[in-house]
Structure 1
Amino acid sequence: MSAGLGTRPNATTYDIERLVGMVWEGRIRVPHFQRELRWGRKDVIYLFDSIVKGYPIGSLLLWVRPAPAERLHLGALDIDAPSYDQSLWVVDGQQRVMSLANALSEDGAQDPRFALSYDLREEDFVASPTVAEPHIVPLPTLFDLRKLLTWFAKYPNLGELQDRAFNLTTVLRQYPVPAYQVEQGETEVLQVIFDRMNNYGKRLSRAEIFSALNAGPEGVRSLTLSDLADHISNDLAFGQIDDDTVLYAVLARRGADVQRDIHLEFGDDRRRGQSEFPGEDRDGAYRAGEEALIRAVRFLQTDACVPHFTLLPYRYLLVVLARFFAHFPDPDPANRRLLRRWFWRAALVGPAVFRGSTTGAVRTLCGKIRAGDITGSVQDLLAAVDPPAAVLPDLRRFRTNEAYTKIALCSWWELSPRDPTTGAVTEIEDLGEQLADRTTCADAVRYIVPSRRVEAGQRLWAANRVLMPVMQHEAGRDVIDIFVNPPIALVGVLNNDEGDQQWQSVLASHLMSSDMVGLLRSGRDSEFLNRRQEAVIAHLDSFLRRKAEWGFEDTPPMSELLIEDLSDEERPLTDEESYGPA
């Protein structure tokens, strides 16, 4: 057991100007076992809102120790840091310190999480607009008095807002942040403090514990779970997969039991024989896990019609797919089609049919995948999600964070939804850009009829929503107005056959018709919603029948049906290999 601290922590205070300055000059460091930055834009906004309102934001715990010269990657900041005999290592408070340093820097604000501004008229922190608006001042400008003076010189009509801005600059720069500094040379003591700090309040996730256990030596930059998620997001526009799901995918590739003890995953003879890839080190497992995830994501996007992580009905299905593609990277077309069939059946069944729900589902399904037996693996996966009958999702309740809604949205994506202001088909990249750091797809879904005009019983219906990530023109107009009065961008071609065909394609891509638009035009909103709800339900039913193929026999590829003695008799299929309609 550790002897504890030789001296008591020293209490001090840093104003924000000094604190972020030390980050920018490389004097403040982050221990290699710390968790990744996981705050989103809303968390950063709350932090700054607390500061300007004078609320306490908590104290920091800093470890005083030497630091070598190195290139630091702190959020969106890249810093060439010199060596210091005494630097400050953040044991507690990393999210706050790094959010401040990134949001108040022009370089850090390149990350959407930290691209924030202050609306001087509304007196509120907001996401930075894509087009400059004089009364909305970027935080890096607000934090730098010289830049702020230049801003007001550029926009002299804002004179009445100058005092408010200058007062805000003073508050931001001078806000005091309390800190405890610990001077102790033993790394073991630092790890004890880290462990105890994180066993109170918000617990570490399994991915964060795994990353800390396998961080490697200080000063050596290795792949992280977040790196894997970033690569997939950047390369495939699939959105940000959470670290826990990435971890489970890495673990699932190496062994079916993803709930196994993660303390002994690498480099320990006690685990020999338990990994399907013995002798593999952490970086090798990460790289191979990333490749399996990439193949799984491509399957979702091209075969299963799931374009983005926020539209994935259940995260554990991606873990199972990663294990499958790790062992069978290039499945034949027949098994690939059966795998798509399994995916949509599993999405409809959900985890509730498995003992232990999600935990039981991922353990059971991963256990069905056996190296070297692709046909048996696919057949067993199908048998595991073989309900007596399909249940169509209830579209009277539309919530973008719920599985049934995500299933419906995937069916809408199949229609290649078009931008009603240009007629252009929405691409996966458009969806990825709109949902950059979002955990749900809410920002890509819009209301058609304003809620104030919708009857109470129809307000949650899917019929009043459209999947419309992008509108290039006239984005300030209500969606209903765009459909009732087609925008200027299309008016020039609407008076000929080609233009009418294009507009009909736009409507059809959102499960609408000219007749439905006529109902909207005449103010018969309830009738429109009834008609479109019927269309939405009919399309979802068609989509699921085609994807899940409930009434089809789950016949393996013909090559697998060859009997060794070449008998002419047809081998009967087992219950696990096929089933007919209920």
Structure 2
Amino acid sequence: MNNSEQPEANVTNGLDDRPNATMFTVENLVNMARSGEIRIPHFQRDFRWQRQDVVRLFDSIVRGYPVGSLLLWRRPATAQLLKLGSLEIQAPDVSAARWVVDGQQRITSLASALIPEASRDPRFALAYNLRDQEFVPAPPEDEPLVIPLPVLFNLTRVLQWFQKFPETIEYIDRANNITQTLRQFQIPAYEVTQNDVKVLQDIFDRMNNYGKRLSRAEIFSALFADDEAIKDRLTFDKISEHLDEDLGFGTVDNDTILMAMLARRGPDVKREIRNEFGGKEGVPRGHQPGRAIIDFPDEARDTAYKLGETAMRRAIAFLQEEASVPHIGMLPYRHLLVVLTRLFAHHPNPSPRNIRLLRRWFWRAAVVGPEVFKGSTTGAIRFLVFAVKPDDLTGSIQELLRLVEYPETPTPDLRRFRSNEAATKTVLCAWWANMPRSLDDGNPFGRDDLSRVLLDRPTALDAVRYIVPRNTVPHEYRLWAANRALVPIMEATSASIEPLISQRPLKLSETAWRAALASHLISSEMANLIITGQTVEFLKARQTALQTQLTSFLERMCEWSFESTPPLTSLLVEDLAEEDGIA
């Protein structure tokens, strides 16, 4: 399609019949999902909600708030292995299935959280805390007053729960009320009968796009969707899933995945995406006049997705193993992952020296930030991606280093701890490099611990605990990093770890306990300050220790005082080439 051409608007004759308005209880919807009566049309987006969105849905239901209406399309459906969120169903032939045109996220969340075999997925593994009257992540082991949603949704299982924990009998009426509310809550729905799929696509487009812009990744996915029903065909959501499941890196958002894939294929990540695959007949895509340079002009869509994921894996492995960035929630800037993806796509096996130089570049770029580039992040990603040349690894890394040569850049301010800010993410990476240990058993935390706690969270907030309760800290010190610790534990019952510091667990020797405290930059003297209630003195002492550790970490990673000499092998090759030229 030429740039001047516009796609023809879909012209439809409207619905064959007017929509039929009805009400479904949550119990109805869950039963229909379990039986395979509910289906997802191919033009629907993948499931996008995160755990907090699912929590909000259930919280709205128990409060009696409206949760919106559904639009369902009545038409036949063939037998298939159906995946609805984390729920897999061997669905039979259905003569009048209900295909979800609007309401996929809500129906998927209800079914996945309330059906036992689906609720193991961390996004849907929820429970209701009867004492605090709130929805919370399901604990790893049974807690009497924290009832998993699949139990709470079934009256018989609720009664069995209270028989198992008779000491909680005073809460049975509250549990029964929540059960009844969940089961009987009504959601309005419109049902249409229509043979022309274009009409339903038109409705879907109007409902989702009018007044709300799609993200660039969603537009790209829709443009090159083709037949996504093909088994094992990669999508951005599947790539994100693989990176999290295999590497424990967390959920990489689709827009970052799109930019990484575009960067691998060509340096201009802001290029026109509608013409990404395939050029004019007889003219290779990368050589069309006036078009962006594409390094892989004849590459098909599926190949691009597959090799893009491979390059992202290499980039993430570098971050985790070489740069002390274990999880995307601790990655200072996501555009740096895009640059690394391009580099590892074209240069998959850098030498140890180049790996060291690349780590040096990464942390210098993280500390300097994108503000030094014209246009901030947009300018940074443009300059940095263009610096990576497909046929010159040494030159690429040298140019990357030149672009971030600002040795006077100050270290992050420890007086402001915000988990969504790049400076704090840098601090967290420094803490991770110190190999934090459990204050309960003394064992070092691993990436798996982070992955389990953070799930799909965009920041590392859920892995951070206050050392002393926040409300006991004078206001001027409340944002200090000194009152935080990186303690990724699922079973945390309190945001504060003061009890773990105030008293050594019996199963830990004095030496092991001191080592665990030291891994969080807490000395025995600091622990005594907490025990004796000298909170401000503790914060000041630990802030000093944290500053020393952060400075040491960044000196080791950035290596500002070192010469960025290329690997010896590349220098020898250049010398030989010059001699050949002279001869």
Q: TM-score, normalised by structure 2?
A: 0.90
State the partner residue of 1:572: none
CA change 1:225–1:459 in 2 (3 A) is same
2:118 equivalent to 1:100: no
2:371 equivalent to 1:352: yes
Specify the SS of the correspondent of 2:65.
coil
- Residue 46 of structure 1: how far off its partner (Å): 1.8
- Residue 83 of structure 1: how far off its partner (Å): 2.3
Q: For residues 495 and 556 of structure 2, what CA distance do their matches in structure 1 show?
A: 36
- Residue 303 of structure 1: how far off its partner (Å): 1.0
Residue of 449, 457, 480 corresponding to 2:468? 449
2:285 equivalent to 1:272: yes
Q: For residues 325 and 533 of structure 1, what CA distance do their matches in structure 2 show?
A: 38
CA change 1:382–1:67 in 2 (3 A) is same
2:138 equivalent to 1:119: no
2:191 equivalent to 1:181: yes
Q: Is the deviation greater in 228-237 or in 289-298?
A: 228-237
CA change 1:164–1:464 in 2 (3 A) is closer
Residue type at the aligned position of 1:255: G
1:50-199 → structure 2 map (5 Å cutoff): 50-199=60-209
1:136-183 Cα offsets, whole Å, 9 max, x none, are 332222222333343344445555444443343333222221112232
CA change 1:9–1:541 in 2 (3 A) is same
The CA RMSD measured in Å over matched residues stands at: 2.3
Residue type at the aligned position of 2:76: P
State the partner residue of 1:536: 546
1:37-85 Cα offsets, whole Å, 9 max, x none, are 2222222122122222222111111222332221111111011112223
CA change 1:564–1:164 in 2 (3 A) is closer
2:350 equivalent to 1:322: no
State the partner residue of 2:43: 33
Specify the SS of the correspondent of 2:507.
helix
2:243 equivalent to 1:232: yes
Instruction: Tell me if the contact between 2:278 and 2:297 (Cα under 8 Å) persists in the aligned partners.
Output: no
Specify the SS of the correspondent of 1:489.
coil
Residue type at the aligned position of 1:135: L
Instruction: Tell me if the contact between 1:33 and 1:211 (Cα under 8 Å) persists in the aligned partners.
Output: no
Residue type at the aligned position of 2:456: D
- Residue 202 of structure 1: how far off its partner (Å): 4.7
Residue of 15, 33, 37 corresponding to 1:23? 33
- Residue 329 of structure 1: how far off its partner (Å): 0.5
Q: TM-score, normalised by structure 1?
A: 0.90
Aligned positions, number:
559
1:275-334 Cα offsets, whole Å, 9 max, x none, are 312332222212111111111111111111111111100111111111110111000111
Residue of 256, 259, 266 corresponding to 1:248? 259
Instruction: Tell me if the contact between 1:419 and 1:471 (Cα under 8 Å) persists in the aligned partners.
Output: no
Q: For residues 148 and 490 of structure 2, what CA distance do their matches in structure 1 show?
A: 25
- Residue 564 of structure 1: how far off its partner (Å): 4.1
CA change 1:566–1:351 in 2 (3 A) is closer
- Residue 481 of structure 1: how far off its partner (Å): 3.2
CA change 1:471–1:277 in 2 (3 A) is closer
State the partner residue of 1:481: 499
Specify the SS of the correspondent of 2:52.
helix
Residue type at the aligned position of 1:177: I
Instruction: Tell me if the contact between 2:39 and 2:99 (Cα under 8 Å) persists in the aligned partners.
Output: yes
- Residue 267 of structure 1: how far off its partner (Å): 4.0
State the partner residue of 1:579: none
Unpaired runs of 5+ residues, structure 2, are 1-8, 287-292
Instruction: Tell me if the contact between 1:447 and 1:479 (Cα under 8 Å) persists in the aligned partners.
Output: yes
Instruction: Tell me if the contact between 2:465 and 2:496 (Cα under 8 Å) persists in the aligned partners.
Output: no
Residue of 545, 550, 554 corresponding to 2:564? 554
Q: For residues 538 and 150 of structure 1, what CA distance do their matches in structure 2 show?
A: 55
1:104-161 Cα offsets, whole Å, 9 max, x none, are 1001211122112223344332322222233333222222233334334444555544
2:465 equivalent to 1:465: no
Instruction: Tell me if the contact between 2:453 and 2:490 (Cα under 8 Å) persists in the aligned partners.
Output: no
CA change 1:261–1:25 in 2 (3 A) is farther
Unpaired runs of 5+ residues, structure 1, are 569-582
> Percent sequence identity over matched residues?
53
Q: Is the deviation greater in 324-333 or in 187-196?
A: 187-196
